[in-house]
């Protein structure tokens, strides 16, 4: 089809409205030359009801959930981590990058204006296009122009690109919060493990002193002929094992301190003397109604959902590439070969007109590009579904583990109470002259073992609480935490 008779009148004044209408009709006909085919994403996002999630009102947990443990040392570490963690700073940098990309995409919806200034000294060939005296002479050309352009975006390609960029920006915002939840929960869990190790160290030292005393008393009885060498060696054999356990405990404490230092973005010396007290940290009770619905507000689930929205917008952009691009451009300025006449009225120049880019045949490139974006949308949807399923499982596991640990703590408390009563009775018998000191020390052994078990279980309960808080989103609220995006398209 010859477009010249239609395009030529744009340089004249003859019936411009009719010419524009005719051109629009031709473009509509030619637009059918590039068909999108039947390509469409195949995957479907899961509904919360499929996983048994129900909408229940709850306020657990809050965004600063760690303050609920009432430990000033933990509060300080959390604030240091939020201020200095390299991992969190990386996520924040990615968020700023995504925000800038959304701003670039938004700029395509607005007119672009620029200015240009050039000065050229040129000698024209004496045997070229211009005859003498121009040919063979040297001239200076000065040019000053003001340029403007605007893409009409009739078929929504730029708006779709903006929606895709805003989706990435929203996802990056949620990923910052996901990094924040991960960081604060790692700090709390490591802090509680260190507190548990410090508590166990005290019990191990008490057990070591108890074993040394028993070994000394058995040795005295052996020398007096009241016990034999076998009993003495059995009493002595347990001491090296306790020393091994104590050394392993001290090593684990150092590693926990190093981990905390890395989490807050500091050197090992910052946490070298840290010895948190497990006894001063209460174990929070589980809420009566576990807010399983908060899983949908988890930052990783929110980020995956925005990734889907971005991918679907990219599909719309790929479809819009099948249709023509129509740009309006204009310029005005001065152009002269004599600087003295640079700003003369006769040196003025200007122009205005449309630029049309119409895809007709591109060897299947557009369809292949659309199929690729459809596949990427399927991947994003599948990733969202996998994230949602994993979140539900993580929350269910955390709830189960927390309830199991709570039941073990109750059993341990009952056993410790009975062992403590037996130890006190042995002490009373010894004071009344009805027993010996070795029996008293031997009845202390199950008390120490249960105290060590109690420290491990309380540590586990606190770590379970942190895991449950993380599984339920760590207090993240997308409506509250997301910053305004650059999406101004409708």
295: closest CA among 195, 395, 220, 208?
395
Token couple for 404:
């199991």
Question: Is the alpha carbon torsion for 238, 242, 248, 249 positive or negative?
Answer: positive
CATH number among 3.30.565.10, 1.20.1600.10, 1.20.140.10, 2.40.100.20, domain 43-109+155-323+365-481: 1.20.1600.10
- Going by the DSSP 8-state scheme, the letter that residue 335 receives in this structure is E
Q: What is the pLDDT of residue 429?
A: 87
| pLDDT per residue as tens digits for the range 336-362 | 776 667 677 777 888 888 888 888 777
For residue 120, the tally of other CB atoms under 10 A from its CB is 10
Cis amide bond preceding 133, omega within 30: yes
In three-state secondary structure terms, 315 is helix
Q: Is the pLDDT of residue 85 over 60?
A: yes
For residue 355, the tally of other CB atoms under 10 A from its CB is 11
Q: What is the pLDDT of residue 338?
A: 66
Return the higher-pLDDT residue of 62 and 54: 62
- Helix H or strand E segment including 356: strand 348-357
HEC states along 74-127? HHHHHHHHHHHCHHHHHHHHHHHHHHHHHHHHHHCCCCEEEEEEEEEEEECCCC
> pLDDT confidence of 462, banded at 50, 70, 90?
very high
- Going by the DSSP 8-state scheme, the letter that residue 303 receives in this structure is H
Q: What is the pLDDT of residue 5?
A: 38
d(CA 104, CA 490): 17
**R_g (Cα) of the chain, nearest Å:** 38
Q: What is the pLDDT of residue 49?
A: 62
The 3-state DSSP composition of the chain as helix, strand, coil percent (nearest 5) reads 65, 10, 25
> pLDDT confidence of 139, banded at 50, 70, 90?
confident
Residues of the chain with CATH 2.20.200.10: 113-152+325-358
Q: What is the pLDDT of residue 439?
A: 86
d(CA 329, CA 245): 79
Percentage of the residues of the chain whose pLDDT score is greater than 70:
82
Q: What is the pLDDT of residue 184?
A: 96
Q: What is the pLDDT of residue 4?
A: 39
The CA-atom distances, in angstroms, between 161 and each of 111, 165, 282 are: 17, 6, 51
Of 174-178, 204-208, 360-364, minimum mean pLDDT range: 360-364
Q: What is the pLDDT of residue 243?
A: 93
What is the rounded end-to-end Cα distance, in angstroms, of the chain?
36
Q: Is the pLDDT of residue 269 over 60?
A: yes
Residues of the chain with CATH 1.20.1600.10: 43-109+155-323+365-481
Q: What is the pLDDT of residue 190?
A: 97
- Strand (E) positions, 374-445? none
Contacts of 268 (CB under 8 A, 6+ apart): 257, 258, 261
> pLDDT confidence of 327, banded at 50, 70, 90?
confident
Span 113-152+325-358: which CATH code? 2.20.200.10
Q: What is the pLDDT of residue 487?
A: 46
Cis amide bond preceding 11, omega within 30: no
Q: What is the pLDDT of residue 475?
A: 83
Q: Which whole number is the average pLDDT over 279-286? A: 81
- Taking each helix axis as running N to C, give the angle between helix 229-263 and helix 72-84, from 0 to 180 degrees, rounded to the nearest 10: 50
**Cβ contact 1:32 at 8 Å:** no
Mean pLDDT of the chain: 83
């Amino acid at each position: 089809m010859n477009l010249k008779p239609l395009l030529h009148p744009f340089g004249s004044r003859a019936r411009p409205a009719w010419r524009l209408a005719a051109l629009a009709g031709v473009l509509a006909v030619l637009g059918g030359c590039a068909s999108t085919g039947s390509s469409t994403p195949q995957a479907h996002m899961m509904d919360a009801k499929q996983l048994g999630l129900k909408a229940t009102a709850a306020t657990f947990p809050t965004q600063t959930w760690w303050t609920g443990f009432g430990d000033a040392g933990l509060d300080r570490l959390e604030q240091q981590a939020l201020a200095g963690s390299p991992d969190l700073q990386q996520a924040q940098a990615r968020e700023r990058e995504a925000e800038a990309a959304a701003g670039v995409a938004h700029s395509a919806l607005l007119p672009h204006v620029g200015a240009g200034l050039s000065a050229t000294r040129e000698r024209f060939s004496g045997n070229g296009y211009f005859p003498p005296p121009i040919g063979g002479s040297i001239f200076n050309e000065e040019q000053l122009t003001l340029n403007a352009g605007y893409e009409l975006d009739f078929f929504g390609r730029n708006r779709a690109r903006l929606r895709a960029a805003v989706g990435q920006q929203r996802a990056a915002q949620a990923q910052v919060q996901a990094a924040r939840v991960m960081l604060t929960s790692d700090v709390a869990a490591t802090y509680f493990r260190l507190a548990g190790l410090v508590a166990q160290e005290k019990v191990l030292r008490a057990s070591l002193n108890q074993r040394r005393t028993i070994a000394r008393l058995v040795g005295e009885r052996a020398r007096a002929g009241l016990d034999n060498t076998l009993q003495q060696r059995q009493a002595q054999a347990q001491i090296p094992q306790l020393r091994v356990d104590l050394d392993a405990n001290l090593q684990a404490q150092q590693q926990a301190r190093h981990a905390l230092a890395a989490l807050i973005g500091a050197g090992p010396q910052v946490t070298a003397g840290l010895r948190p007290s497990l006894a001063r940290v209460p174990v929070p009770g589980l809420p009566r109604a576990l807010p399983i619905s908060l899983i949908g507000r988890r930052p990783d689930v929110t980020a995956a959902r925005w990734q889907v929205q971005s991918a679907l917008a990219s599909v719309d952009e790929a479809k819009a590439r099948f249709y023509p691009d129509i740009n309006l451009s204009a310029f005005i300025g001065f152009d002269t070969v004599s600087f003295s006449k640079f700003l003369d009225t006769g040196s003025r120049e200007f122009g205005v007109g449309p630029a049309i880019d119409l895809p007709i045949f591109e060897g299947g490139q557009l369809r292949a590009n659309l199929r690729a974006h459809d596949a990427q949308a399927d991947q994003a949807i599948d990733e969202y579904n996998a994230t949602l399923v994993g979140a539900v499982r993580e929350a269910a596991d955390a709830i189960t583990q927390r309830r199991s640990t709570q039941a073990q703590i109750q059993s341990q408390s009952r056993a410790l109470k009975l062992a403590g009563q037996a130890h006190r009775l042995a002490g009373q018998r010894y004071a009344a002259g009805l027993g010996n000191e070795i029996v008293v020390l031997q009845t202390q052994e199950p008390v120490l073992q249960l105290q060590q078990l109690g420290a491990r279980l309380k540590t586990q309960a606190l770590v379970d609480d942190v895991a449950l808080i993380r599984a339920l989103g760590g207090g993240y609220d997308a409506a509250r935490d997301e910053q305004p995006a650059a999406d101004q398209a409708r």
